[in-house]
Structure 1
Amino acid sequence: MDSIAGSFISTPKIAFNAYTMSGGSYGHNQPLMFPYVLLNLGEGYDKTTGIFTAPVTGLYFFSAHICNANAEFMVISIFHEGNEVAKTTQYESSRDSCSSVNVPVMVNMGGKVSIKSYGASNLQADTKYRWPSFAGVLLHI
């Protein structure tokens, strides 16, 4: 039994969850920053750039949550190493509303994952009800 137990590799604890309370207009392909960090196990998320850099190779799960403002579009994409891997569009003609997008991605050690706006977008955020966010977790190595 000891030989079987010794062959298992423990998955390191890597996870992050960051959000913003600042909205505004974004141009095409503009990075989104999430400066308020609730969790950063493994220290892979950089709040100054909005980029997650994988500390180890593995299967990760990423999630982003956005809100549109003033009956305008908010469109984002999750990028892995410059390639778009997920996208969501949020639009409500008469008020603000929110949307989320999730994606599993194989990321090599040092690989980068970020969120960028698509087209002209308008993000809604505030201190009480809307915290657009970006989160990720290592599922398996």
Structure 2
Amino acid sequence: MLYSIVLAFCFISLCQCEEPKSCSQFYYVDKLLEKMIRNEVKGETLEKEIANTNSNVQLTLDELKRERYNFKNEIMEFKILMEDFKIKTDSIKETMESKLIELKTEKTMSTPNVAFKARTVKDKNPQTGETLIFQDIMFNNGKAYDSSSGIFTVPVNGTYLFTIHICVNPGKDFYYGIVYDDILNTSGLFSDSSYVKCYTADAIMQLDVGQKVWLICVNNRSSGNILEERTSTASYWNTFSGILVHV
């Protein structure tokens, strides 16, 4: 509005001027007005650029807000997935532990309790080929060991572990053999020249129902070779034992 009034005033002044020289003072006014017009044009252009810049900045801010919102949603979705994964993992773990317990229970229930241990040798000077009979039964789960014959009769197909413990007099020896159905499975020699010694040997066998296992003297080269004694100061036990380890 001010610019329009100034322009009108200058136009009237120029029209009233009769000679160019007398109007020279308005020349500078005209130049000033041209400069003001150029500045106004530049100002309008700058305002448009600022407006465009503000618009772009606003668009960028809006886009950043949308991305931030989307990022928050993605984080929430990830947390939900992780919780779901943890729940499923815990469920699988519980199921596996339960199955493992069931398998152990089934295995325990499916494996019969077959085990025995007997002591006290009936004949301490056994002859070659003689079966050693252990008279005193300490336990006999499955009732498979016969203390009158010294023979163990297999009640269940499976893998068995048999152990003997024999004490030998000084200067004597004992050739032992653990046999099944008259077949020698394990043999060896227990001997010491100066002291009473007790020795242990074992045998692992895969056996079927009805097969028989016992301990024999493989070769008797002297008399009084086995020692069995229970006193207040020393105990020398001879034992024969066996257990079903797997079916």
The answer to whether the 8 Å contact 1:21/1:127 transfers is no
Which TM-score applies when normalising by structure 1?
Answer: 0.90
2: distance between equivalents of 1:40 and 1:20? 15
Give 1:27 deviation, angstroms: 1.1
Partner residue of 2:242 out of 114, 136, 141: 136
- 2:202 matched residue in structure 1: 102
Partner residue of 1:39 out of 139, 145, 158: 139
The answer to whether the 8 Å contact 2:121/2:133 transfers is no
Query: Which has the higher Rg, Structure 1 or Structure 2?
Result: 2
**Equivalences for residues 85-96 of structure 1 within 5 A:** 85-96=185-196
2: distance between equivalents of 1:69 and 1:23? 14
2: distance between equivalents of 1:105 and 1:34? 20
**Equivalences for residues 4-83 of structure 1 within 5 A:** 5=102, 8-9=106-107, 10-20=110-120, 24-83=124-183
Question: Of the two structures, which has the highest relative contact order with CA contacts closer than 8 Å and spacing of 6 or more?
Answer: 1
Per residue, is there more strand in 1 or in 2? 1
Residue identity opposite 2:153 in structure 1 = T
1: distance between equivalents of 2:145 and 2:126? 21
2: distance between equivalents of 1:41 and 1:123? 27
The answer to whether the 8 Å contact 2:159/2:206 transfers is yes
Which TM-score applies when normalising by structure 2?
Answer: 0.53
1: distance between equivalents of 2:188 and 2:163? 11
Unaligned stretches of 5+ residues in structure 2: 1-94
**Which digits, 9 at most, give the CA deviation of each residue in 1:97-131, with x for residues without a partner?**
11111111011101100000011162111124111
Give 1:81 deviation, angstroms: 1.3
Q: Structure 1 residues 38, 62: closer, same or farther in 2, change over 3 A?
A: same
2: distance between equivalents of 1:60 and 1:117? 21
1: distance between equivalents of 2:243 and 2:219? 28
1: distance between equivalents of 2:127 and 2:191? 16
Q: Cα RMSD between the aligned structures?
A: 2.2
Unaligned stretches of 5+ residues in structure 1: none
1: distance between equivalents of 2:162 and 2:181? 14
1: distance between equivalents of 2:112 and 2:148? 24
